[in-house]
Amino acid sequence: MSGNEQSGARIESSRDPSGQTLLSIRGRLDSTSAAGVWRRLLELGRAAGASGLVVDASALEYCDGAGASLLVALERQQREAGGGFHVRGLREEFQKLVEMIEPAPARVEAAPEHREGFFEGIGRATLRLLSDTRTLMVFVGELTVMLGRALRHPRQLRFKDLFLVAERAGIGAIPIVTLVGFLLGLILAFQSAIPMQRFGAQIFVADLLGISLLRELGPLMAAILLTARSGSAFAAEIGTMKVNEEVDALTTMGLEPVSFLAVPRVLAAVVVVPVLAMLTNVAGLAGGALMFQTLDFPLVTYVNRVVAATSLGDFVGGLFKSFVFGIVVAAVGCLRGLQTGKGAEAVGESTTSAVVSGIVLIAFIDGIFAVVFYAMGI
Amino acid sequence: MANDPIIRVEELTAKYGDNVVFDRVSFEVMRGEVFIILGGSGCGKSTMLKHMIGLYTPFAGRVRIQGDDITRAEGEVRRRILRRLGVMYQSGALFGSMTLLENVRLPLEEFTDYPPEAMDAIAASKLRLVQLEGFEDYMPADISGGMKKRAAIARAMALEPEILFLDEPSAGLDPITSAELDATILRLSRTLGVTFVVVTHELPSIYTIADRVIMLDKETKGIIATGTPAELRDHCENDWVRRFFLRETAAGGEPEVRTT
Ligand SMILES: Nc1ncnc2c1ncn2[C@@H]1O[C@H](COP(=O)(O)OP(=O)(O)OP(=O)(O)O)[C@@H](O)[C@H]1O
Ligand SMILES: [Mg+2]
């Protein structure tokens, strides 16, 4: 026999002749004392196992919701272990409390938990990725049709939204795009000037800057900044509308959510990204120019080198790329918004997912462009 | 009340994934009546409403609105049906980026050719109808929950719909506003012959406005009772339904009343 004294509740454990474990609880089982005896009581119960457990509550003076939860937990544990369970001497008012927590007949058996194996996990992830890509392609297709329709009937377009989005995604992005572009140019020039100086080839820093900014970094940076600033915002705005049933309300008002919500945003992004890419280019070249000054070359030389090294193809190719990035980033943002499930967390998930998928897609498409441009000789 | 059905729900089955919400449910809503959908929380009332307005495609079955099958309608047909419906969602679903007036105006812009000032006038009159005069230029974020509900009702009524679907219109309203809303519903129903499909739990409201009631049930995934509120209260053999109307607890008897 073991005794246990803990802030009001006392537990005694014994075995009766038939082999059942008898736990008698005395004193007060309330929210303070239940905490103290919770583990111990369950352990004693577990020790009883299949042999059966009887709880003697005749000396229980007081029991509140916490105490009743403890009794229910004990019963559940015992049921899972497959042993008998019986409470005796529990006063009627306490019995009611227990029934409130666990109504006797409706016992829900938890479904056996299915643990996913490593390969199963990979398989599922792959399938999800594939179906995700498919959805995105279908969505971009749908969007293109809607864009075409919007351009043919510009009166139906919501210009107010278009300008609002363009202002936020475009004008609002100017400071950060300029700053990032400038630093990018400065750092790139600095990093490349050091090794090139060893060969006396600093002058080629201008070539390097011009080509890499126009073809690659300008559009890329602009698109990534758009993803972070606006792709996420699109997903959050539309996602919140989805959660609030606003998207449903649009549908019943005969307004197609895709054309009402996504078209203005994508159109705005398509206009804005090439401009931002150009801005990045200019800011980057300005940063490079500053670095160049410290290498003791006149500014004219720098400008001339940049102009000579880059072609119209580089410039137009870069702009075209940023145009495509703009569509994709905005489309992913809107799609993730429209795919939002229920609740506030779902909005957070869509926002994150919009940024992640946006950046992955940018990298992916940039790779495709590299191959295509190479094949076309641009 | 004319005795021809304006909405026919035929063998409708709804699922979310593998979770069947209701199974082969059929009923009719008559022209001009106030039809109430009842049921415990989570039994699929909102889901039913969203199927009836063609927002969700059912797993099986159809919903006919004046003969047109809304579950399969597309393009112009669908627009024509939607034009006749007004919907108030459980959460209100006001557009957060628009003022109350713009919210109510939007369906008018989409479906009608009124001159702009006429749209403003109509929208303002709808807001007056739900006692929201003076709040035209407020944003939804800046008004109370009950006011949002009322603004959403005003928006649902913007196009003078023949059928109004209201999902828990009086939840969150004080008894007086709720009674005023009931009066508005009755007025529209009696004078203009508007048909109402309303989800509500408010007993006083049900007794005031309901012509007919159906009770959905989570266990059987179907309708467990149909009739007028008085019939269901006095004659229904289903225990749960009777208890619902008498406001009894599961243990039987009314909840213990405070005596102090
Ligand atoms: N979008 C959804 N995805 C998955 N399951 C859902 C979705 N919406 C509702 N459900 C489930 O369908 C069931 C019915 O939901 P519904 O919202 O129709 O209930 P309700 O009768 O309107 O309840 P309440 O009175 O609380 O509004 C619930 O069990 C709910 O969990
Ligand atoms: Mg609901």
What is the distance between the alpha carbons of residues A202 and A195, in angstroms, rounded to a whole number?
A: 9
Residue with tokens 């690659």: A216
* CA-based radius of gyration for chain A: 34
B194-246 tens-digit pLDDT: 899 999 888 888 888 999 999 998 888 888 888 888 888 887 778 778 888 87
What is the distance between the alpha carbons of residues A218 and A226, in angstroms, rounded to a whole number?
A: 12
Tell me how crowded residue B127 is: count the other CB atoms within 10 A of its CB: 24
Do B87 and A249 make contact, defined as CB atoms within 8 angstroms? yes
Q: Is A8 helix (H, G, I), strand (E, B) or coil?
A: coil
- What's the domain count of chain B? 1
A264-293 tens-digit pLDDT: 999 999 999 999 999 999 999 999 999 888
* Residue A98 and residue A72 in contact, taking contact as beta carbons nearer than 8 Å: yes
Q: Which atom of ligand 1 is nearest to the CA of B49?
A: 18
What is the distance between the alpha carbons of residues B228 and B1, in angstroms, rounded to a whole number?
A: 14
Ligand 1 site, residue B16, Cβ cutoff 6 A: yes
Residue B239: inside a domain: no
The ipTM estimated for the assembled molecules is: 0.81
Structure tokens at B58: 């059912």
Do A244 and B91 make contact, defined as CB atoms within 8 angstroms? yes
Q: Is A89 helix (H, G, I), strand (E, B) or coil?
A: coil
Ligand 1 site, residue B41, Cβ cutoff 6 A: yes
What is the distance between the alpha carbons of residues B138 and A276, in angstroms, rounded to a whole number?
A: 35
* Residue A205 and residue A292 in contact, taking contact as beta carbons nearer than 8 Å: yes
pLDDT > 80? residue A5: no
Amino acid at A73: A
A78-88 tens-digit pLDDT: 888 888 888 88
Tally of CA atoms within 13 A in the half-sphere of A89 that contains its CB: 14
Do A248 and B83 make contact, defined as CB atoms within 8 angstroms? no
Q: What is the DSSP letter of A117?
A: P
Residue B210: inside a domain: no
Distance of CA B215 to the CA centre of its chain: 14
* Residue B206 and residue B227 in contact, taking contact as beta carbons nearer than 8 Å: no
pLDDT > 60? residue B40: yes
A99 — alpha (psi -120 to 50), left (phi > 0) or beta? alpha
Ligand 1 site, residue B58, Cβ cutoff 6 A: no
- Burial class of residue B154 (count of CB atoms within 10 Å of its CB; 0-12, 13-18, 19+): buried
Q: What is the pLDDT of residue A108?
A: 44
DSSP collapsed to 3 states, B35-92: EEEECCCCCCHHHHHHHHCCCCCCCEEEEEECCEECCCCCHHHHHHHHHCEEEECCCC
Does residue B23 or residue A377 have the better pLDDT? Answer: B23
Q: Is A11 helix (H, G, I), strand (E, B) or coil?
A: strand
pLDDT > 50? residue A105: no
- Find the helix or strand (DSSP H, E) in which A169 lies: helix A159-169
B257: confidence class by pLDDT, cuts 50, 70, 90: low
Structure tokens at A86: 């019986």
Residue B86: inside a domain: no
- To the nearest whole number, what is the mean pLDDT of chain A? 86
Sorted by sequence, the CB contacts under 8 Å of residue A284 that are 6+ apart come out as A181, A182, A184, A185, A188, A209, A213, A217, A218
Tell me how crowded residue B232 is: count the other CB atoms within 10 A of its CB: 24
Residue B187: inside a domain: no
Identify the structural domains of chain A with CATH numbers, from first to last: 9-101 (3.30.750.24), 141-376 (no CATH)
What is the distance between the alpha carbons of residues A230 and A224, in angstroms, rounded to a whole number?
A: 10
What is the distance between the alpha carbons of residues A183 and A178, in angstroms, rounded to a whole number?
A: 9
Q: How far is CA A273 from CA A39, A269, B196, B208, in A?
A: 61, 6, 49, 58
Do A253 and B53 make contact, defined as CB atoms within 8 angstroms? no
Q: Which atom of ligand 1 is nearest to the CA of A342?
A: 1
Sorted by sequence, the CB contacts under 8 Å of residue A85 that are 6+ apart come out as A52, A53, A54, A55, A74, A75, A78, A79
Task: Write out the residue range of the structural domain in which residue B110 sits.
Answer: 94-161
Name chain B contacts of A251, Cβ cutoff 8 Å: 55
Tell me how crowded residue A361 is: count the other CB atoms within 10 A of its CB: 19
Task: Count, in order, helices (H) and strands (E) of chain A.
Answer: 15, 6
Name chain B contacts of A241, Cβ cutoff 8 Å: 95-96
Residue B123: inside a domain: yes
B56-77 tens-digit pLDDT: 889 999 999 988 898 888 888 8
Structure tokens at A291: 């670095």
A215-232 tens-digit pLDDT: 999 999 999 999 999 999
Q: What is the pLDDT of residue A10?
A: 87
